[in-house]
Amino acid sequence: MTLRGKLGFIGGGRMGEALIQGILRTEIITAADIMVTDPVSSRREYLAKTYRVNSFDSGEDDHVWSGCSTVILAVKPQIMEEVLKDARDRINDSHLLISIAAGIKTSLIDANLTRCNCRIIRVMPNTPAFVLEAASALCHGPRATREDMETALAIFNSIGRAIILDEKYFDAVTGLSGSGPAYVFTCIEPLIDAGLKVGLNRSDAELLVMQTVLGSVKLAMASNEHPAQLRAMVTSPGGTTIAGLHELEAAGFSGIIMDAVEAATERSKELGK
Ligand SMILES: NC(=O)c1ccc[n+]([C@@H]2O[C@H](COP(=O)([O-])OP(=O)(O)OC[C@H]3O[C@@H](n4cnc5c(N)ncnc54)[C@H](OP(=O)(O)O)[C@@H]3O)[C@@H](O)[C@H]2O)c1
């Protein structure tokens, strides 16, 4: 797929950069057709030098709004309303807006654009975007077409894997994959410490844990087996793995993980009110 028209970014921070990196890798658009605004001059220079994209001061965002048919809103959620109100006169019916701001509903974006009927899509990516392995959920906002969703899928598949979901699931997505990297890191850290506890040095423990996690994920993704079946493959009767699994389950490990995701989902709902 090739993206039609130019692609703009309002906000050239970490997530904006990850998207630029991924998009350029897939060659669905060239660097010359990407425009970014950011208030920090060193950031603009860095993006222009590293990726050869066109960068502008945030006060000159009219270049982006007049030059780009698709614009990704990659600013912090706290300033989203201010940014939209400020750009209201420059956003028109021909724009496709794609917001990645956590917790900002498409209805709120629409409500801040009273003078136009542009199409809106909301996306929830996660931090593995920085290594082009994000898990992203996309939802239709007002007026977004099937073609718009395909455009957004092409963009977000360039930084990992993306699926389309109804917006009513976005609090669950926030609790599961949005917060998910933190749960994984919280498992990785004590695994490394456990390696030390049983006598390994730190660098050996780190390598063994990281490669075990990476390899297990790759195995689970490549296999058609249920995770329980993959676990059974390493669990022999009276063996070492069942001794370790017994400790995890005695402490309620599965329930704790489910409670964590549920608590994060509830918190996302509260913050969205
Ligand atoms: N990072 C994640 O894992 C993640 C995951 C899911 C969703 N998101 C969402 O992605 C969005 C961006 O996150 P991020 O991690 O990339 O944040 P970030 O690194 O802070 O990037 C935001 C960038 O926008 C700039 N900016 C501020 N005001 C602006 C304006 N008026 N016009 C243009 N640019 C402006 C900021 O500059 P200053 O630094 O000077 O303010 C900063 O460079 C957020 O809404 C966040 O909720 C992030």
Q: Where are the domains of the chain?
A: 6-170, 178-272
The predicted-structure confidence for 111-120, as pLDDT tens digits, reads as follows 999 778 999 9
Domain 178-272 has CATH 2.40.50.140: no
Which token pair is 208?
């063994």
**Pairwise CA distance, residues 100 & 123, whole Å:** 5
What predicted TM-score, i.e. pTM, was given to this entire model?
0.94
pLDDT band at 3 (very low <50, low <70, confident <90, very high): confident
Q: What is the mean pLDDT of the chain?
A: 95
Report, as an integer, the average pLDDT of 242-250: 98
pLDDT band at 4 (very low <50, low <70, confident <90, very high): confident
**Pairwise CA distance, residues 37 & 184, whole Å:** 33
Residue 113 Cβ inside 6 Å of ligand 1? The answer reads: no
Confirm if 109 and 84 have CB atoms less than 8 A apart. yes
Which residue, by CA, sits nearest to atom 24 of ligand 1? 11
pLDDT band at 273 (very low <50, low <70, confident <90, very high): confident
Residues 6+ apart with CB under 8 A from 135: 125, 126, 128, 160, 161, 162, 177, 180
Which token pair is 31?
């660097």
- CA-CA-CA-CA dihedral for 223, 224, 229, 232, to nearest 10: -20
Which token pair is 61?
């965002």
Higher pLDDT, 89 or 1: 89
Which residue, by CA, sits nearest to atom 30 of ligand 1? 58
91, β-bridge pairs: none
Residue 78 Cβ inside 6 Å of ligand 1? The answer reads: no
Q: What is the pLDDT of residue 1?
A: 80
Residue 174 Cβ inside 6 Å of ligand 1? The answer reads: no
pLDDT band at 205 (very low <50, low <70, confident <90, very high): very high
Q: What is the pLDDT of residue 272?
A: 81
Q: What is the pLDDT of residue 83?
A: 95
Pocket mutation for ligand 1, best pick of 15, 35, 170 (most atoms within 8 Å of C-beta)? 15
pLDDT band at 167 (very low <50, low <70, confident <90, very high): very high
Which residue, by CA, sits nearest to atom 26 of ligand 1? 11
Q: Which atom of ligand 1 is nearest to the CA of 125?
A: 6
- Distance between Cα 167 and ligand 1 center (Å): 21
The predicted-structure confidence for 23-81, as pLDDT tens digits, reads as follows 999 888 999 999 999 999 999 999 999 999 999 999 999 999 999 999 999 999 999 99
Number of residues that make up the chain: 273
- Distance between Cα 75 and ligand 1 center (Å): 4
**Pairwise CA distance, residues 169 & 21, whole Å:** 28
Q: Give yes or no on whether 6-170 and 178-272 have one common fold.
A: no
Domain 6-170 has CATH 3.40.50.720: yes
